[in-house]
Amino acid sequence: MMFSFLFLLFMPIPQVRTGSLLTGTYDPNSTALINERRDIKEIDVLRQIINQETLIRVAVVKDVRAVVDDVRSVKRSMASSETMVSTLQQTLESLKSQVDSLNRDNTLAQKVEVLQRQVYTLRQTKTLKKRVETLERQVNTLSQDNALQRKVETLQRKVDSLTEEQTREIKNWQEKNQEIEQKFNRNIAEVYELLNNRTLETIKKDLKLYVDCKHHCLQGQTQSGVYRISPFGNESQIDVYCDMVTEGGGWTAIQKRVSGSESFDRTLAEYKNGFGNANDSYWIGNDTIHQLTKGRNSSLYVSITIKNGTTFYELYQEFSINDEADNYSLFLGGPATGTLGDSMLKTGDSNKDLSGMSFTTPDRDNDRYSIGIGNCAARPRSRGGWWFNWCSYAFLNGPWYPAVWQKPWYPTVESGLTVKGTMMLIRRH
């Protein structure tokens, strides 16, 4: 294409025949003119074509130049590329040779492994070392903590102390236990001894509480003597003389005199609580008399034995006394029967009747006597506690021989000098 344009460029331009137009005759319709006109047109066309061809040629030349430039550029770049490729190839070859060299060097890998192992070992060693250091620090801290050490020592001492204390306690307890066991064994031995010495019935009787002598009598006792009674329950047991013979027995002696061993010149307090002993002479006590007779119908049996051996008696069907708040005042009721004669209840002298009278002692004047000494119980010949009125015809607590005892039981026993013994017995109905 490029070359065809070049060919066209150098082609000879055809000759224009202009002579004919200047010479010859003009005939617009002549063949010659027509031919000329046609030639001119053709020339114009050719000119146009030439012009176009020229333009084309110029364009082509430009194109060719551009192509040439392109080719040159391509060539330059090709050369450059070739250089680059060459360089790359060289580099590649160098790398290949390095790789080969590396591949060939087996020891390097081994060295790397060894180094890796060394690094690993070092790491491990480092960690271990750090741990050891930490532990050492902790140990040092603990060792330096004296307070903790002291606490531990204190605790240990406490534990030791507690252990010693416990041991002592156990020892004490064992000793006590042994002591108790010994006591228990002794008691058991005593019980066995008692069982061997006494019959079960006797023990039962000993253990049983008796209100009074009638209680003993009802249980079959027939022998007069000293018995234990518990008029207030088991809290206070007292020994008393029981008459198991007179009038069927069962009599409790509230007063008994067989000698001068016991003085009856006593205070109210002594009469209240009682004095003397049941085997000899005694006063059972006003509180006990009240306890034995309150709420119970009881009898009073008075007996006086004189020195010739004769015994007189008087039985009052009703007898009781009030409590301390009421001055142990006496209640006496009939009928009165006996060999002494009634010198207490209905004496024929209202100043000598004793029922309803308060209890008077030398230190406590509750009687009706108001002249002279003013206290029947404080008179020298009748010192002692009694239910005095304006004194009395009967008074069993007077001074014992050799002292003068006036009117123990008037008129049957006028003087205490003849008295061998007295007894005041009571028995509930």
Nearer to Ca ion among residue 374 and residue 411 (C-beta): 374
| Minimum separation from the CB atom of position 263 to Ca ion (A) | 22
Report residue 135 CA to chain centroid gap.
44
Peptide bond preceding 231: is omega within 30 degrees of 0, i.e. cis?
no
| Minimum separation from the CB atom of position 389 to Ca ion (A) | 10
Nearer to Ca ion among residue 14 and residue 374 (C-beta): 374
Residues facing residue 364 across a β-bridge:
361
| Minimum separation from the CB atom of position 255 to Ca ion (A) | 23
Residues 6+ apart with CB under 8 A from 334: 316, 317, 318, 342, 345, 346
Strands 225-229 and 406-409: unpaired
**Cβ atoms within 10 Å, residue 363:** 15
DSSP letters, 268-337, are: HHHHHH-EE-TTS-EE--HHHHHHHHTTS-EEEEEEEEETTS-EEEEEEEEEEE--GGGTT-EEEEEEEE
| Minimum separation from the CB atom of position 360 to Ca ion (A) | 7
Nearer to Ca ion among residue 334 and residue 374 (C-beta): 374
Nearer to Ca ion among residue 205 and residue 368 (C-beta): 368
| Minimum separation from the CB atom of position 266 to Ca ion (A) | 18
Q: Which residues bind Ca ion (CB under 5 A)?
A: 365, 367, 369, 374
* DSSP state at residue 119: H
Tokens linked to 35: 């031919």
Nearer to Ca ion among residue 369 and residue 405 (C-beta): 369
Peptide bond preceding 335: is omega within 30 degrees of 0, i.e. cis?
yes
Amino acid, single-letter form, for residue 218: L
The 3-state DSSP class for residue 346 equals coil
Nearer to Ca ion among residue 377 and residue 423 (C-beta): 377
Amino acid, single-letter form, for residue 32: A
Nearer to Ca ion among residue 288 and residue 358 (C-beta): 358
| Minimum separation from the CB atom of position 404 to Ca ion (A) | 21
| Minimum separation from the CB atom of position 368 to Ca ion (A) | 6
**What whole-number distance in Å separates Cα of residue 409 and Cα of residue 42?**
217
